[in-house]
Amino acid sequence: MSNDVKNFPKDAFDRITVDGKHAEKISKPSLNFWQDAWLRIRKNKGAIVSMFILIFLVVMAFVGPYMVPHDPENVRVSHANLPPKVPGLEKLGIFDGEGKLGSKTVNLYELKKVEEYYWFGTDSLGRDLFSRLWKGTQVSLYIAFVAAIIDMIIGVIYGGISGYYGGRVDDIMQRVVEVLIGIPTLVIVILMIMIMEPGIWSIIIAITITGWIGMSRIVRGQVLKFKNQEFVLAAKTLGASDSRIIGKHLLPNIMAIVIINIMFTIPTAIFFEAFLSFIGLGLQAPHASLGTLINDGYKFIQYQPHILFFPAFILSLLMIAFNLIGDGLRDALDPKMKD
Amino acid sequence: MAKYIIKRVAYMFISLFLIASFTFVLMKLLPGSPLASAEKLSVEQREVIYEKYGLNDPIPVQYVRYMGNLAKGDFGVSFQFKKADVTTLIVSKLKYSMILGAQALVFGTIVGIVLGMIAALKQNTIWDYGSTVIAILGVSIPSFVFAVMLQYVFAVHWEFFDVGLWNSWKSSVLPSIALAMGPIAIAARFIRTEMIEVLSSDYIMLAKAKGASWLEIAFKHAFRNALIPLITVLGPVAAGLLTGSLVVEQIFAIPGIGEQFVKSINSNDFAVIMGTTMFFSVFLIVIILIVDILYGIIDPRIRLSGGGK
Amino acid sequence: MEKIIEVKDLELSFHTFAGEVKAIRGVNFEVFKGETLAIVGESGSGKSVTTKAIMRLLPESSTEFKNGQILFDGKDLLKTSDKDMQKVRGKEISMIFQDPMTSLNPTMPIGKQIMEPLLKHQKLSKEEARRKSIELLSLVGMPQPEQRMKQYPHQFSGGQRQRIVIAVALACNPKLLIADEPTTALDVTIQAQILELMKDLQKKIETSIIFITHDLGVVANVADRVAVMYGGQIVEFGTVDEIFYNPQHPYTWGLLSSMPSLDTTEEKLYAIPGSPPDLLDPPKGDAFALRSEYAMKIDMEEKPPLFKVSDTHYAATWLLHPDAPKVDPPAAIVERMKKFPGSRYYEGSAGGGR
């Protein structure tokens, strides 16, 4: 606050003209919505690790069954109930083929004179659990993805129409949803499964029969929110057609929330499949899914816990990975969390 | 408010009517007969039984009769358990399911709220990460996998608890914990997000500016506001838990409704399946209705503005 | 005059994902007993942050106090423990926020919210606190205070809610009241009522007020002294008359010129070109130079100190340096300066001159 007058070179006080653009320059590069989202999800370690885990599991689901010389559906009773044995690791005293026989621990491979290695052991019919596990993962993922996509298509169309046209159409469509919501999902899924031939598609149909409701409600809410916003009204006043408004203005805006929701429907579908198979309503032998493998393993939990362990572990890993990616996407895409 | 409740109750009955009709149609489409697995019966005996239960009548007649009985609260008679009417059967099984469900709900909600509170108040610390991990595991790992794990570790391996069956209260510990994982995870995640949002709101800033202490802010101001919306999330979870879990009851051989339901499915026991489905639906719908009304009562913003949402 | 609070060389930064935001870069001011100091500036100039720093309401995890002191009652608030700070907040210093719609707890009856500081700081019994709260409500002009005690915030209009917030703030007769844009979210007619109320109450309870606003019209109405903030610094401060009729800083000129007035003859409203400086990487010299048509070479090199204009009036611009060329402010400002005795354009009041 002092008024000491320092001396400056004379020209220091020359007037200069500041380029107006200078002040307007934008210091940060402009990012579109997805680039911005990517920057934010990249900081979410859980989501990134999960993405790698998921990629690994998907690759293994297709490659895994061919990594070992055993067919996942090949029954060899003489090789039944073998514990895991992995070349290399066996020298460390783990995965060395030792297992319980009655109350004694013996090397079952030597006992049964088995030369081959079964990395994850075999089940009660002598089927290789390693290839079965990945085959089962493949089936579970297939069911989950197809179910999620069907849910999305029905949900987006139903919710979109209901929200966009509003009025009477919306009223009727929402009453239908209100009734459907009252039905316990699990019960309806079970009833549906019971009247259909067991198989992959009955499971998919059973899962999707009520699965789309959640998606449709979210899409409707989003459409209702956006359709009255200025940019849509502006497009309307400029004479844009319904299809152009939906395609160019509404869909891009609800895309983020649809993707987030898919990330949560996939694990739900995986869960339902496993659940149905576990109570004996899912796939029938010799086909495998994570659910049937867990069910098989559960029967031998007392003496052969490893049969249960591997599919239960992969199932849990899949569910965790999808949930974490879903969380990460939600945090990254939801503008409400932006700061 | 009264108008709103009346409207909701009317919808409830429409829903139930449709569910009942839908279940009836599904049952009629079902392949197999309830007597297929029963004792070897001659054609005549079978005819007698069909006649007795009205299974030979035209389907519309059966439908009207069924709906009429439902309206009187009569769910029919089980084929599997002779002379047992379905209502009595459900009521007799309900006790076990309710005990498990109530324990899981109370335990799970309390643990979940505590975890969520800690996570929100100690944001980005080891506490937060720990409780987030628990919540993620709880949401991700299916209850039956968790139940099997608990059973293996604590009942088979260490033999702390019974593997299954209902002998005493102790038998309910493992299944209750397995069932509680869901509410723990849901409550923890929900409370954390809500608390963080509430804590960053202007009125919390004002409370701080008034000189309120950290504890006063957390409990007097933030907690209540974060807790209210939790009710809407936990309502359907509560309905699911109290009506029994299909797999967890099966895994621990608990003689509850869920186990009964799976049994009936395997033996094509139409009456019990339909009865249980109706029971589940009524329970779910009524709980959701209660939750919505409760929410209106607890949240002054809704309570006093008069209408529903 | 007795100093209530003195902020010395305050410097603070926020740590964000993008980097260190130097939000406050050396701020000095004091508030005297019974006066109203207005802090004016555009969004992001640091006016809100300064007052939240006084209350220590900034998020602890991301805020770094780099330098300075905030002296209140002889102690440095920046070094006060959290516990002692709780005794200051609401009792010695209280605050009114911008948006009355969100600053009351929606699930707590308003009576309870007013009673809270009374119970906490004045150790009143519940009954006494209730009576005092009713008194406060009628003091802020709330009809039927007794009945309204039990009601919830959503049952009040925006203006009424701001009255309640004021009642909360005044509950313990604070020495200093910080009002952070208390009228910005309100309708113009309600704004005037709230301002009148605040002026009225200030006289009654003799509190000092720091009034933050970006609305110069409000400033003229309530303030005794004005501090103009730009880019995390105070660029000019003085009495209301000095700031309005003898402004020295080009930014203040810009602010005053962009104020709409009825008797203006120009058709186009003046707007300051450009946007506020990026405080992630603040400019080296005068932060305003890039937007100023009066920029000089030295503005790009060195930060201007505060030059004294009068005992109460200081401005941080190199234009006040004796070596600087004499420039003419915008015409509208010159018009204003003509009315101010002491300014270089003073023409004297009706008939008189120097």
**Roughly what angle, to the nearest 10 degrees, separates helices B143-150 and A305-333?**
140
Nearest CA in chain C to B122: C61
Question: What is the DSSP secondary-structure string of C270-281?
Answer: P---S----TTS
Find out if CATH 1.10.3720.10 is the number for domain B1-309. yes
A324 touches chain B (CB under 8 A): yes
CA distance B236 to chain A (A): 10
Q: Which residues pair with C178 in a beta bridge?
A: C95, C210
- The answer to whether residue C276 scores a pLDDT higher than 60 is yes
- The answer to whether residue C141 scores a pLDDT higher than 50 is yes
Q: What pLDDT was estimated at residue A329?
A: 83
pTM over 0.80: no
How large is the average pLDDT for residues C82-96? Answer: 88
Can you say whether the dihedral through the CA atoms of B42, B44, B50, B55 is positive or negative?
A: positive
Residue with the bigger pLDDT between A97 and C60: it is: C60
- Is the CB of C117 less than 8 angstroms away from the CB of B211? yes
pLDDT digits (tens, 9 = 90+) for C180-192: 888 888 888 888 8
Residues of chain B predicted below pLDDT 70: 1, 30-43, 45-56, 79-83, 163-165, 244, 300-309
Q: What pLDDT was estimated at residue A206?
A: 84
A234 touches chain B (CB under 8 A): no
Neighbours of chain B (3+ CB pairs under 8 A): A, C
C19 touches chain A (CB under 8 A): no
Strand (E) or helix (H) holding C236: strand C233-239
Q: What pLDDT was estimated at residue B303?
A: 52
Q: What pLDDT was estimated at residue B92?
A: 84
What string of pLDDT tens digits covers the 339 residues of chain A?
A: 444 556 677 677 777 776 655 545 555 566 677 777 777 777 778 888 889 999 999 998 888 778 777 777 777 777 777 777 776 666 666 666 666 666 667 676 666 667 777 777 777 777 788 888 888 899 899 999 999 999 999 999 998 888 888 888 888 888 888 777 777 777 777 777 777 777 888 888 888 888 888 888 888 888 888 888 888 888 888 878 888 888 888 888 888 888 888 888 888 888 888 888 887 777 877 778 888 888 888 887 777 777 888 888 889 899 999 988 888 888 777 655 433
pLDDT digits (tens, 9 = 90+) for A262-308: 888 888 888 888 888 887 777 877 778 888 888 888 887 777 777 88
Q: Where in the sequence of chain A do the CATH 1.10.3720.10 domains occur?
A: 45-70+124-337
Q: List the alpha helices (DSSP H) in C89-186.
A: 110-121, 126-139, 145-148, 158-170
Residue with the bigger pLDDT between A303 and C33: it is: C33
d(CA C110, CA C154): 10
Share of chain C above pLDDT 90, in %: 13
Q: For residue C290, give the nearest of A8, A23, A28 by CB distance.
A: A23
- Is the CB of C154 less than 8 angstroms away from the CB of B304? yes
Q: For residue C297, give the nearest of A14, A24, A43 by CB distance.
A: A14
Token code pair at residue C198: 């605040």
- Is the CB of A178 less than 8 angstroms away from the CB of B265? no
Are C53 and C39 spatial neighbours (Cβ–Cβ below 8 Å)?
Answer: no
Q: What pLDDT was estimated at residue A146?
A: 93
> Comparing C-alpha atoms, which of B249, B111, B184, B136 is closest to residue A267?
B136
B221 touches chain C (CB under 8 A): yes
Which of C61, C275, C297, C313 has the most A C-beta neighbours within 10 Å, making it the best mutation to test the interface with A?
C297
> Comparing C-alpha atoms, which of A140, A135, A149 is closest to residue A263?
A149
A183 touches chain B (CB under 8 A): yes
Which positions in chain C touch B299 (Cβ < 8 Å)? 107
Are B116 and B170 spatial neighbours (Cβ–Cβ below 8 Å)?
Answer: no
Q: What pLDDT was estimated at residue A187?
A: 76
Q: What pLDDT was estimated at residue C227?
A: 93
Which positions in chain A touch B14 (Cβ < 8 Å)? 179
Pairing of strands C93-96, C307-310: unpaired
Let me know how long chain B is: 309
Are B104 and B241 spatial neighbours (Cβ–Cβ below 8 Å)?
Answer: yes
| Identity at B40, one-letter amino acid code | K
A3 touches chain C (CB under 8 A): yes
Q: What pLDDT was estimated at residue A52?
A: 92
Q: What pLDDT was estimated at residue C38?
A: 92
Q: What pLDDT was estimated at residue B305?
A: 44
The whole-chain average pLDDT of chain C stands at 85
Q: What pLDDT was estimated at residue C209?
A: 92
pLDDT digits (tens, 9 = 90+) for B58-96: 778 888 888 888 777 777 777 666 667 778 888 888 888
d(CA C33, CA C2): 6
What SS3 class is residue C36? strand
Q: What pLDDT was estimated at residue C205?
A: 83
**With a CB-CB cutoff of 8 Å, which residues 253-282 of chain B face chain A?**
262, 265-266, 273, 276-277, 280-281
Pairing of strands C3-16, C63-72: antiparallel
d(CA C29, CA C6): 6
Pairing of strands C36-40, C225-230: parallel
What is the residue extent of each domain of chain B?
A: 1-309
CA distance B118 to chain C (A): 17
Residue with the bigger pLDDT between C138 and A78: it is: C138
Which of B199, B205, B210 has the most C C-beta neighbours within 10 Å, making it the best mutation to test the interface with C?
B210
Neighbours of chain C (3+ CB pairs under 8 A): A, B
Identify the residue whose tokens are 């939790």: B230
For domain A45-70+124-337, which CATH number applies: 3.40.1190.10, 1.10.3720.10, 3.40.50.2300, 3.30.460.10? 1.10.3720.10
- Is the CB of B210 less than 8 angstroms away from the CB of C168? yes
Chain pair B-C, CB pairs under 8 angstroms = 80
Strand (E) or helix (H) holding C193: helix C188-205
A103 touches chain C (CB under 8 A): no
User: Cis peptide leading into A286, omega within 30 of 0?
Assistant: yes
A17 touches chain C (CB under 8 A): yes
Are C150 and B244 spatial neighbours (Cβ–Cβ below 8 Å)?
Answer: no
